[in-house]
Amino acid sequence: MEYVISFIIGVILLIKFTYAQNGKVIKLPTPSFKSSISIEEALLYRRSKRFYKDLPLTTQELSQILWASQGISDSDYKFRTCPSAGALYPLEVYISILKVEGIESGIYKYTPEKHEIIQLYKNHKRDELYEASLKQEWVKWAPVVLIICASFYKTKARYGERGIRYIYIETGHCAQNIYLQCVSLGLGTVAVGAFDDDEISKILNLPKFEIPTYLMPIGKI
C-alpha cells in the first residue's frame, strides 16, 4: 500500500514540475540510425576520455547523444533505446550546455517523447557543478555535461526496495549507450560517479522524488 501511495504522490509532483517548466523549447534534429562504425568497433574503441578540445558540439551531435541515452525507439509502444525494468523508464536527462552551435548556454531537460529539450535555466551552472563533483576539471570545461537522474518512486512503486537496484542497473545501460554513441561520433565522454548528491539536487532544483545518479561530460577529442 505504501508503494501505491508513493506512486500517486510522485505522479502529482511530476505533473506540478512539468507545468512549472515554461522555458525555451528546442526541437532537436532527427537522429540518424546508421553509422560508418560497427557496434563491434565502438565496443573495441570505447574508453573514458576526460579532456576535450575547446570546440562546440553541433546540434546534430547533441540530438544523437540524447536519443542514444533515452530516445524513443518504438513509436507505437514508446520503448526507449535502453532497457528498463517493467518499461517504467525512471531516468531523466538534464543537460548543462556550455558550447553547442545554435543553442544558448544553460541548463536543459530532455523530453524523449518529442525529442526536444526545454531550457530550465539560462545559467549553465558549471562552477557549481564543478564544486559539487569534487572539482573534476572535465565537468567544468566540457562543451556539454549530461546529468542523469532517476525518479525512484516509479520503480519502487512496482518492485519495492529491489527497484533501487534496477534503477542503478538502468543508469549503467544508459551510460554505455552514451559511451558507444560518442565513439561513433568521434567524441569523448567519461562516467562520473563522484559527486555530492544533495548539491547536484540543489543546483538543478530537482523535485524531491528525483536523485542524481551519473554525470557525463562530453566533448570533441
Rounded Cα gap, residues 87 and 84, in angstroms: 5
Closest to 209 (Cα-Cα) out of 95, 90, 108, 121: 90
Q: What is the pTM of this model?
A: 0.90
Instruction: Write down the pLDDT at residue 103.
Output: 98
Q: Which amino acid is at 197?
A: D
The strand ranges marked E within 99-143 are 106-111, 116-121
Instruction: Write down the pLDDT at residue 22.
Output: 60
What is the pLDDT confidence band of residue 11, given thresholds at 50, 70 and 90?
very low
- Answer yes or no: is pLDDT of 21 > 80: no
Lowest mean pLDDT among 2-11, 37-46, 88-97, 130-139: 2-11
Share of the chain above pLDDT 70, in %: 90
